[in-house]
Chains A and B, each alone.
Chain A
Amino acid sequence: MTANQTLRADTIQGRSLWQDAITRLRKNHLAMAGLVILIIMVVVALLTPWIAPYSYEVQDLDLGASPPSAAHWLGTDTFGRDLLTRVMYGGRVSLAVGFIATTVALVIGVFWGAIAGYAGGRTDAFMMRLVDILYALPFMIFIILLMVVFGRSILLLFLAIGCVEWLTMARIVRGQVLSLRQQEFVEAAVAMGLSPLTIIIRHIIPNILGPIIVYVTLTIPSVMLLEAFLSFLGLGIQPPQSSWGLLISYGVETMEEYPWLLLYPGLVLSVTLFSLNFLGDGLRDALDPKTSKD
């Protein structure tokens, strides 16, 4: 990005798409609110071991499930563990799985799809058949295999989920690239002498950010729920550790007697997903120069 720095220094009006996008994003209050909430969530998650009011694993069976009180703001679960603490610790796992797995899916999917779509012909056919084969593989078996071979670890879980989610991303991206490749501005870029990789990065990917962002905002919640599902089956994280997905699924079991066990984890997850969607919408609009005038 040295080029951009020289531009700044020369006080010229030229700015990159991203700089313009940030300016536009700042004006979108809903998206900014979403961003702020997400940042708070991440900061809290990072600081949890130091700021959590209780231990996430020490049980107080005498107390049992208690409704929210001054001592336990969100109440306690059936084992008498502080729910706020468990939600905070759960956030670490859920946010991490959401962001890491989605990033893995994003990076692999976008490049795989963009390269296949841009190269076309046999390369495309080969790359996409590989995607089809992976699609056809039952992903539970795939993940169980991974766990058996490499042992159970949270990081591996993240990677495994990411490795499954990128397939759809690759297909979406490839479809978009196929139609973009026909556009004259891509041909103009070839005629200019740009290398294929530069064309993909500078001319193609910026023009497919819209669908990519939409898909990302859909992927993050789905990987969070996938993690809960895997954990429920005993393949993911294990109690006494927790995640939002796990807390919710336990909460569902006891929702008639102890509704707060479902309510608060559910609320936190919903707020996160709302924030994500607002931020995603804002980003998509901000990255499209056509949507606003400044």
Chain B
Amino acid sequence: MPVLSVKNLTVNFYTRDGIVNAVKDVSYDVDAGEVLAIVGESGSGKSVSSHALLDLIARPPGKIESGHAYFNDIDLLNCSKQQMRSIRGNKIAMIFQDPMTSLNPYMTIGSQLIEVLTTHSVVDKKTATLKAAHVLEEVGISDGLKRLKQYPHEFSGGMRQRVMIAMALLTEPELLIADEPTTALDVTIQAQIFELLHALRKRYNIAIIFITHDLAVVAQLADRVLVMKDGAIVEQGTTAEIFANTQHDYTKNLLAAIPNSQKPEQYRYQVPAHNNNSILEITNLTTRFPGLSSGLFQKKQYLNAVDNVDLSLKKGEILGLVGESGCGKSTLSKTIIQLTDSHEGSVKFEGEEITSLDSKHLKRLRKDLQIIFQDPYASLNPRMSVYDILLEPLKLHQAAPKDQLDQRIKELMREVGLSPSDIRKYPHEFSGGQRQRIAIARALAVAPKVIVADEPVSALDVTIQAQILDLFLQLVKRRGLSMIFVSHDLSVIRYLCDRTAVMSEGKIIEVDQTETVFNHPKNVYTQKLIAAIPTEIPHQSPA
């Protein structure tokens, strides 16, 4: 008998722009001890379909139009508020995406854990404390009793997600709903969390609904998969079935979009016969941030975000810069294009030192060095139309004669795959992928020689990501660009980059040809990183 049985769930959102069918007639079962993955891209309704069960969607504008969800003979969609409270967080627990924001920073871990216990069962504080400490150790946080007295900021991201899992497990739930629980985490931490979830499922025989956008993750963890698109289930089956015998075109697209190959042959860097000079030469580069100073008269402490980095970029190549969060890769890329001041070392662009340019020379340099940011929702001025966004760099650097400005803007839009008829629209009228195309067009407008791309695809859905990656490959080849591509995603790096530099704690610990780094990593850290990549080959599930 399934733990949870959802039947014909339909959820609509009544927005200003009309009714949005977020979830359309969705039915599924989850058995005890089973991991069900709900996969889909943003807007597919994957989160709403499970949040609605626990009355966690905003109503209005949301409205559950129809459906039943039987959990131990209680219909979650038609039960009283009181019944719901006794189930939510008790029999059905949830883990959210961002462990940084889902814990209260002003309460100790202990009081937050104990609160869960005392809310849902009648236990005295001492029993609760002991139990909380025990569960903390279960999820791999040793010295539980001591750690209970600590505040969330004293834990790292991965540790906080463990705390969240501990909190979810405290009441011994029958069902755990995990909504993208590892999306905000580094790949090595992600692998640890998966291991933990695997172990816990075996021990507690708990059912897990795992919501994710990442098919590679699904392959590692799930017994069954449910693929959602536009609010409806397009395909479901066991993990092995889905991967071996994909039925629906959409699932095929999703699978095909996972970058799992080497760089395509035709886009690889060709060693030129002559003039094998680097376009960018970085030596001993160090960037510091003021750290915590312990007293008024003590010497200021500094944190080396970028620590004595040597790196070179050849003309026409894509250099990957990979590392986990906090390793300094973003600071390094911003230091290279002179958005952040360096403290030591030099950056030479075409042989010219650029770390100490005055504003006039710097403006000239900006034309040659461009940057593309991670979040296309934040990197475009919401009050400027596409036309104005693209006009600005063209006019500033006189990149086109006055009478050809409109022509150039239309060309740019076509080049990045946007329709020139959308020229008057504002950024919010575009999808995430289209916005990133606008940001790319803006960077290309001044015909730069080097583009630094700082995690440009990590905010995008996987099918969009694949399109943008191919756009990058074409642009670099067609325009003879050189590119530094920063990412935490190793498979993206492998697909795109000719050479790869691995960064950890501000230092470059390994630089080599991409395939060499992936197949024969020399550094221990690199080996660990590469071992943690979720592969898309499904493991044999017992079910």
Residues of A within 8 A of B (CB): 3, 6-7, 10, 12-17, 20, 183-185, 187-195, 202-203, 206-207, 287-290, 293
Contact with A along B305-338 (1 / 0, CB 8 A): 0000000000000000000000000000010010
Which residues does chain A contribute within 8 Å of B365, judged by CB atoms? 193
Say if the beta carbon of B130 comes within 8 Å of chain A: no
Contact B379 A202 (CB under 8 A): no
- Chain A residue at smallest Cβ distance from B426: A289
Contact B387 A289 (CB under 8 A): no
Pick out which of these stretches binds chain A: B65-73, B140-148, B366-374, B473-481. Answer: B366-374
Contact A203 B381 (CB under 8 A): yes
Contact B383 A191 (CB under 8 A): no
Contact B388 A192 (CB under 8 A): no
Which residues does chain A contribute within 8 Å of B371, judged by CB atoms? 187-188, 191
B392's partner among A15, A202, A207 (CB-CB below 8 A) is A202
Contact with A along B172-193 (1 / 0, CB 8 A): 0000000000000000000000
Contact B366 A14 (CB under 8 A): no
B428's partner among A10, A20, A194, A290 (CB-CB below 8 A) is A290
Say if the beta carbon of B58 comes within 8 Å of chain A: no
Which residues does chain A contribute within 8 Å of B200, judged by CB atoms? none
Q: Complex Cα distance A184/B373, Å?
A: 7
Contact B424 A289 (CB under 8 A): no
Contact A194 B391 (CB under 8 A): no
Contact A207 B378 (CB under 8 A): no
A6's partner among B384, B388, B397, B402 (CB-CB below 8 A) is B402
Contact A17 B383 (CB under 8 A): yes
6 A-B pairs with least C-beta separation: A193-B366, A14-B387, A184-B379, A289-B426, A193-B363, A184-B373
Which residues does chain A contribute within 8 Å of B387, judged by CB atoms? 12-15
Contact A191 B339 (CB under 8 A): yes
Contact with A along B198-225 (1 / 0, CB 8 A): 0000000000000000000000000000
Contact B383 A288 (CB under 8 A): yes
Contact A193 B367 (CB under 8 A): yes
Given the known inter-chain contacts A183-B378, A188-B371, A188-B373, please indicate yes or no for A206 contacting B423, CB distance below 8 A.
Answer: no
Contact B374 A192 (CB under 8 A): no
> B145 to chain A: closest CB distance in Å?
39
> B514 to chain A: closest CB distance in Å?
26
Q: Complex Cα distance A188/B384, Å?
A: 14
Q: Which of A6, A15, A191, A287 has the largest number of chain B CB atoms within 10 A?
A: A191
Q: Which of B17, B375, B383 has the largest number of chain A CB atoms within 10 A?
A: B383
B393's partner among A6, A12, A192 (CB-CB below 8 A) is A192
> A30 to chain B: closest CB distance in Å?
18
Which residues does chain A contribute within 8 Å of B396, judged by CB atoms? 192-194
A289's partner among B17, B363, B383, B409 (CB-CB below 8 A) is B383
Say if the beta carbon of B406 comes within 8 Å of chain A: yes
Q: Which of B403, B409, B424 has the largest number of chain A CB atoms within 10 A?
A: B424
A14's partner among B337, B339, B388 (CB-CB below 8 A) is B388
> B380 to chain A: closest CB distance in Å?
6
Contact B381 A10 (CB under 8 A): no
Contact B424 A193 (CB under 8 A): no
Say if the beta carbon of B499 comes within 8 Å of chain A: no
Q: Complex Cα distance A188/B443, Å?
A: 9
B373's partner among A12, A20, A187, A195 (CB-CB below 8 A) is A187
Contact B385 A193 (CB under 8 A): no
Contact with A along B426-438 (1 / 0, CB 8 A): 1011000000000
Which residues does chain B contribute within 8 Å of A191, judged by CB atoms? 337, 339, 366, 369-371
